Amino acid sequence: MSTPLVVAVVLNWNAVDETIECVNSLLNSSYKNLQIVIVDNFSTDDSVNIIKKIFPNIKLICNNFNNGYAGGNNLGIKWALSINADYILILNNDVTVDTSMVENLVEKLDQNLNIGIITGKVFYKDNPKRIFSGFGKFIWWRCSGVNRGTTFGRFYLHKREGKVNYISGVLFLAKSEVFKSLGLLDEKYFMYFEDLEFSFRVSKKYSLYYSPNALAFHKSGGGTRWSNYSEIYLYYQTRNRLIVFEDKNIVYRIYVLFFTILITIAKSMAILFTSKSENSFKKKRINALWRGLKDGLFYNISKKVLS
């Protein structure tokens, strides 16, 4: 049998140093039938020229506007499908991969025809013993997918492979047929929670899987705790939590609304009283939270009026 063609999609936006590190780690992969496509999401720095100079033989797609994580990655996915890729690897540009990671994920996909997407164990770059994502799980009462789990989970769940019901968008390998049969990433999210929606969608037809032997390392640009989360993270995390459950029953949607309000209040308090940043920066991040809540509510009201 021929070795499956894997195309890795690396999305760049004003972070060329991270993109270079990510691409170099992919170039060092032990899996040889691997192609890379870099998508620049309308960077305002010199990213495009630098990427062209350093990686002249790697496919580069330049977006004419920034349409977020989902939209940018979709450009790369479409290109991968156009060259008949068997598998498509999606990973954040601030991720670096172990040399055997791609090979490990491909092997698991080859072994099980029912698996649609698979992920590995992703550590924090600045703390390689701490897990960022791995044995993912959708937890209904938290209204989100959870990566790290409890202390017990970190020592037990993350060490064993198996089926999961949520895979983080930070890194996953998908069969091309998944995108062909179920569609691409949903661009209305822009960023955050599109991975949960995609997990919901894929799980209706395929299995989601986790392999602890496929290792990678992530910088986590959004932040590591409530007090230092970025403005853009706070906005889209809040807004999209109210959007992703739009097809659930009314009782659960009401619960999601109240949960989101409580989380928004709690995060605001954390930023206000525990953050060491300047007051003007605190105000911007708190405003981002409440704008996200308002826009998420407006989206749901608009959907109800128009439906």
Residue listed under structure tokens 């919901």: 200
Select from 163, 188, 218 the last residue of a domain: 218
Same domain, 178 and 95: yes
Counted domains in the chain: 2
Kindly state whether residue 281 falls inside one of the protein's structural domains: yes
The verdict on 63 and 105 lying in the same domain is: yes
* Same domain assignment for residues 245 and 274: yes
Q: pTM (2 decimals)? A: 0.93
CATH number at residue 177: 3.90.550.10
Model pLDDT, residue 11: 98
CB 23, CB 49: distance < 8 Å: no
Per-residue model confidence as pLDDT tens for the chain (307 residues):
589 999 999 999 999 999 999 999 999 999 999 999 999 999 999 999 999 999 999 999 999 999 999 999 999 999 999 999 999 999 999 999 999 999 999 999 999 999 999 999 999 898 887 888 888 899 999 999 987 544 445 545 567 889 999 999 999 999 999 999 999 999 999 999 999 999 999 999 999 999 999 999 998 765 556 667 889 999 999 999 999 999 899 999 999 999 999 999 999 999 998 877 788 889 999 999 999 999 999 998 887 655 4
DSSP assignment string, 185-225: --GGGSSSSHHHHHHHHHHTTSEEEEEEEEEEEE--TT-SS
- Asked if residue 123 and residue 85 are part of one domain, the reply reads yes
Decide the pairing of beta strands 87-91 and 6-12: parallel
* Domain assignment present for 1: no
Q: How far apart are CA 101 and CA 44, in angstroms?
A: 32
Whether 75 and 200 map to the same domain: the answer is: yes
Say what the alpha-carbon torsion angle 281, 284, 290, 292 is, to the nearest 10 degrees. -110
Q: What is the pLDDT of residue 58?
A: 98
Q: In this structure, are residues 148 and 134 in contact, taking their beta carbons and an 8 Å threshold?
A: yes
Single residue among 196, 218, 240 that ends a domain in this structure:
218
Question: What's at 32, amino acid-wise?
Answer: K
Q: Give yes or no for a contact between 162 and 210, defined as CB atoms under 8 angstroms apart.
A: yes
pLDDT given at position 225 = 64
Query: What domain range includes position 282?
Result: 226-306
Out of 218, 237, 261, a domain closes at 218
SS3 call for 256: helix
* 254 lies in the same domain as 127: no
Judge whether 161 lies within some domain. Answer: yes
The confidence score (pLDDT) of residue 150 equals 46
pLDDT at 279: 87
Can you give the pLDDT at residue 122?
Answer: 92
* pLDDT for 226: 65
Is residue 284 domain-resident?
A: yes
